[in-house]
Amino acid sequence: MSRPTQAHINLDALRFNYQLACNLAPQSQTVAVVKANAYGHGAVECAKALEPLAPALGVACIEEALQLRQAGLNKPILLLEGIFSADEVEIAARENFWLMVENTFQADAICQAKPSAPLRCWIKIDTGMHRLGLVPEQFNSVYQQLQTSANVHSPLLAASHFACADELKNATTEQQLQVFNTTIQGLDCPTSIANSAGILGWPQARSNWNRPGIMLYGSSPFEHSHAEGDKLKAVMTLRSAVISVRHVKAGDSVGYGANWNADKPSTIATVAAGYGDGYPRVIANGTPVLVNGQSCPLAGRVSMDMISVDVSHLNSVKIGDPVELWGENLPVNEIAGHANTLGYELLTRMPARPTRIYSDLN
Ligand SMILES: *Cc1c(COP(=O)(O)O)cnc(C)c1O
């Protein structure tokens, strides 16, 4: 007696993927990145599953960190973009939030505050992505400023972020590493560089602290097959069911805009999931949908609440039959490819509408 559209979240797979990140870098500490509602999977539930394993959690902003505190999570939480306004310094001190420091406004705000406890700071260096971070020429003075401030806990940490680590033949990553190493030369400070692609694909990028996000959710950051990336287990499986079945004649069209036409008499199953459930509207006709575990092509435009699937080649399809849109048996990256985007985007922009069902075998 309920709409069958649900996002099943496999917390064992989440822990498995986290452990894979740890095993690849046994000398590193591994921050579990759970920003953006844990890439759509539910920040609180995922953080609770990972907290016993992870020394720290990572989020984009203080609102996300406070949500975790209010839910009872106790580990340090790294704010990956640091503070947006000076009043956040005291909250961070009180709540044991660690701050990325990526510009001089943030450094000054930290040094001018009167926090109730010293803060842990990660200084971010712009090694070539040119989005966030201090340029190498600024690094030494900010490092000195923070190191001599009583508001800052030692040791300081030096961090950076890759622009192209998902492209394993791209020379940018080596260049960024070189800029990073030159910038911190002579300083004895811990470092953090690697995101998922760095951990999986660039052993030289693994350092004291790694910051995996997407890989925890079972989506490889690489476009092609990759020895380590292929070991990841899907965490979210978006499931629904057939809610209607009909036969159409050759020449009949299906859906809004009548943009799919039957080239022969066909059986069309209507499935209760659409763009209102996170299934992208731009996705192409012919995209695979699993009906009763069998691959069937999408037929016609994605509606808000429904899609239509050509099930002509299946023996019998009836109302209530199970459907998988992506997940365990149909990689989200493959579906993203049909929508001209990445697994990152499909997962992260998952709306709240499909109920999250958490399976926790532990
Ligand atoms: C989001 C984020 C990560 C995680 O990146 P993935 O590619 O998802 O592994 C790591 N570091 C920073 C600074 C981030 O913003």
Residue-wise pLDDT for 140-194, tens only, equals 999 999 999 999 999 999 999 999 999 999 999 999 999 999 999 999 999 999 9
Q: Is the CB of 211 under 6 A from ligand 1?
A: yes
Residue 1 has pLDDT above 80, yes or no: no
Residue type, 112: Q
**Residue 97: helix, strand or coil by DSSP?**
strand
Q: Is the CB of 210 under 6 A from ligand 1?
A: no
**Ligand 1 atom closest to Cα of 100?**
13
Q: What is the pLDDT of residue 360?
A: 75
Give the number of other Cβ atoms within 10 Å of residue 238's Cβ.
Answer: 24
| pTM (two decimals) | 0.97
Q: List the structure tokens of 248.
A: 């159409």
Assign residue 140 a region (left: φ > 0; alpha: ψ between -120 and 50; beta: otherwise): alpha
Q: Convert the pLDDT of each residue in 303-322 to its tens digit.
A: 999 999 999 999 999 999 99
Share of the chain above pLDDT 70, in %: 99
**Ligand 1 atom closest to Cα of 211?**
10
Give the number of other Cβ atoms within 10 Å of residue 171's Cβ.
Answer: 9
**Ligand 1 atom closest to Cα of 221?**
7
Taking the centre of ligand 1 as the mean of its atom positions, its distance from the CA of residue 195, in whole angstroms, is 5
pLDDT grade for 44, boundaries at 50, 70 and 90? very high
Contact 37, 43 (CB under 8 A): yes
Q: Is the CB of 196 under 6 A from ligand 1?
A: yes
Q: List the structure tokens of 12.
A: 């064992």
Nearest-angstrom CA–CA distance, 339 and 104: 40
Nearest-angstrom CA–CA distance, 333 and 140: 41
Taking the centre of ligand 1 as the mean of its atom positions, its distance from the CA of residue 151, in whole angstroms, is 27
Crossing angle of the two packed helices 104-112 and 136-147, in degrees rounded to 10 = 10
3-state DSSP helix/strand/coil percent for the chain, to nearest 5?
Answer: 30, 25, 45
- The residue whose CA has the least distance to atom 15 of ligand 1 is 80
31: closest CA among 147, 168, 193? 193
Question: How many Å is the maximal CA-CA distance in the chain?
Answer: 78
pLDDT grade for 361, boundaries at 50, 70 and 90? low
